[in-house]
Amino acid sequence: MDVKKYHHGDLKNALIQAGIEVLTHEGLAGLSLRKVAKQAGVSHAAPYAHFTDKQAIIAAISTEGYRKLYQCLSDAIDKAKGNPHKQLIETAWAYIQFARQESGCFKIMFSGVLEQEKDYPEFVEVSQRTFALVVDIVKACQKAKILREETPQLLGVVIWGQVHGVISLIFLGQIPHMVLDRYPMREMLIRTMNQLTLVNYSE
Amino acid sequence: MDVKKYHHGDLKNALIQAGIEVLTHEGLAGLSLRKVAKQAGVSHAAPYAHFTDKQAIIAAISTEGYRKLYQCLSDAIDKAKGNPHKQLIETAWAYIQFARQESGCFKIMFSGVLEQEKDYPEFVEVSQRTFALVVDIVKACQKAKILREETPQLLGVVIWGQVHGVISLIFLGQIPHMVLDRYPMREMLIRTMNQLTLVNYSE
DNA sequence: ACCTGAACACCGTTCAAGT
DNA sequence: ACCTGAACACCGTTCAAGT
């Protein structure tokens, strides 16, 4: 029945899920605390029992997004165990799939609406853990002579930046359709990554 | 004296400038139409004489940002005329300088708050013109054997994505300080670009 | 401890009215 | 044609009160 229970049990997480829901369907401009509260079935003041302000809930959604992203990238690495070149491609591919499938999270994570990330230690932690994952792949690829010798952290920035930049520009609608229509996303990725690697990847 | 004139002469542009001002000092979350109007010295309803809604003023600010970016990149290309490799590096450097110096514009251009870019033809036009600039440099670099043979448009996406992605991640605070402290921005850029080119650039 | 409802300042948008 | 002021629905945030 639709009897409303007094307390939610885990309102904090319910609010994060509700936030992702709102973001996915109404976009960045449509995200309001009051809508999130309504979506979770509580009064507009209830979120303040769990979050200090709107920035804090944005941080929590972004952190949850990073946890999902970390999981996606980890899975991709596991699936290509023992083959660094494949790990590189599949991890990049997983990043693109994450951006498409978890568009609500992706939008807010990299929009810049979260203004003081440093104030949210869980966000910083998972963000750094994700970067470390990329650096690990870089090291494996260097060992396999697939990437040049260069500080692994710097190469990590280059590769993450590469994939992130291209998918961001595409999502923002800044890449002419003429270019997008010529290559399926998967082919675009492989050609893109082949600009960075010493050996070409093909499938 | 502080006599208030009735009409502004060019309120439309004054509002765009005011918007950039607000963005620069108060960030994305602090941008409201009412603040922009106040900053321009008019009533909160006045913007509606020139823009249909908030999205339209965001589009106008983003378009103005792109015009500035286009100018920065053009200047960099001119300064390195006859040397494609230098053009590539200096244009990328100009992009980074733009992001730093026109941070208000940069924030909103690539934040995703502008939801229907396709509805703003001036925005689309200057965005495509900027991409064309990158493709031109790619072609010159290919002729000079500095970049591999590959569809110039695709390489344009790769290079723009590369520079855009790295600077975005840095601005978003997603790159560990450990990495940023090791390299000055200019050196990071050159090392980054050297991963893409066939010949190393040094200075 | 967790939530509600009223309250307040602020915001986007509309509209009748003023020059 | 360009702008104002009042109006309204919505938003972030606070707080006294309820279980």
pLDDT digits (tens, 9 = 90+) for B48-58: 999 999 999 99
Looking at the structure, tell me whether residues B78 and B112 fall in a common domain: yes
The answer to whether position B200 is within a domain reads no
Per-residue DSSP letter, B181? H
The answer to whether position B201 is within a domain reads no
What tens digit of pLDDT does each residue of B91-132 get?
999 999 999 999 999 999 999 999 999 999 999 999 999 999
B173-178 mean pLDDT: 95
What is the CATH classification number for the domain harbouring B148? 1.10.357.10
Of B10 and B69, more confident = B69
CA A64 – CA A62 distance, rounded (Å): 5
pLDDT reading at B1 higher than 70: no
**pLDDT at residue number B89:** 98
Q: Whole-number mean pLDDT of chain B?
A: 95
**pLDDT at residue number A203:** 84
Residues 6+ apart with CB under 8 A from A154: B179, B182, B183, B188, B191, B192
B173-196 mean pLDDT: 96
Residues 6+ apart with CB under 8 A from A173: B117, B118
Total domains present in chain B: 2
Structural domain for B2, as ranges: 1-51
Q: Closest-CA residue in chain A for B174?
A: A127
Looking at the structure, tell me whether residues B113 and B91 fall in a common domain: yes
Domain boundary among B11, B28, B51: B51
Looking at the structure, tell me whether residues B25 and B66 fall in a common domain: no
Considering only residues 53-72 of protein chain A, which place a Cβ less than 7 A from any atom of strand D? Answer: 53-55
Looking at the structure, tell me whether residues B109 and B182 fall in a common domain: yes
**pLDDT at residue number A169:** 98
Task: Return positions of chain D under 7 A from a protein CB.
Answer: 2-7, 10-16
Looking at the structure, tell me whether residues B61 and B6 fall in a common domain: no
Looking at the structure, tell me whether residues B172 and B185 fall in a common domain: yes
The answer to whether position A65 is within a domain reads yes
Domain boundary among A27, A51, A75: A51
Q: How far is A70 from chain B (nearest CA, A)?
A: 14
B68-78 mean pLDDT: 98
B172-180 mean pLDDT: 95
Residue stretches of chain A with pLDDT short of 70:
1-8
Task: Report the distance from CA of residue A106 to the C1' of nucleotide D19 in Å, as an integer.
Answer: 39
Cβ–Cβ under 8 Å, residues B104 and B23: yes
Nearest nucleotide relative to A37: CA against C1':
C3
Domain boundary among A51, A66, A91: A51
The answer to whether position B90 is within a domain reads yes
Looking at the structure, tell me whether residues B178 and B81 fall in a common domain: yes
The answer to whether position B202 is within a domain reads no
CA nearest B72: which of B111, B107, B110, B100? B100
pLDDT reading at B62 higher than 70: yes
Cβ–Cβ under 8 Å, residues A196 and A154: no
Looking at the structure, tell me whether residues A65 and A109 fall in a common domain: yes
> pLDDT exceeding 70 applies to what percent of chain B?
96
Cβ–Cβ under 8 Å, residues B153 and A179: yes
CA nearest B61: which of B117, B138, B4? B117
Rounded to whole angstroms, the maximal C-alpha distance in chain B is 64
Which pair of tokens denotes residue A132? 């470390």
Looking at the structure, tell me whether residues A92 and A127 fall in a common domain: yes
B7-15 mean pLDDT: 85
CA A16 – CA A60 distance, rounded (Å): 7
What pTM does this model have? 0.95
Q: Residue B201: what are its φ and ψ, rounded to 5°? A: -100, 135
The answer to whether position B43 is within a domain reads yes
Cβ–Cβ under 8 Å, residues A87 and A128: no
Task: Report the distance from CA of residue B40 to the C1' of nucleotide C9 in Å, as an integer.
Answer: 22
Phi-psi region for residue B145, left (φ > 0), alpha (ψ -120 to 50) or beta?
left
What is the CATH classification number for the domain harbouring A41? 1.10.10
The answer to whether position A16 is within a domain reads yes
**pLDDT at residue number B99:** 98
pLDDT reading at B193 higher than 60: yes
**pLDDT at residue number A36:** 97
What's the angle, vertex CA A36, arms to CA A30 and CA A39, rounded to 5? 110
Looking at the structure, tell me whether residues A79 and A179 fall in a common domain: yes
The answer to whether position A201 is within a domain reads no
Looking at the structure, tell me whether residues B36 and B135 fall in a common domain: no
Looking at the structure, tell me whether residues A59 and A159 fall in a common domain: yes
> Tokens 């991890």, residue?
A91
Q: Return the number of other C-beta atoms located less than 10 Å from residue A110's C-beta.
A: 24
**pLDDT at residue number A7:** 56
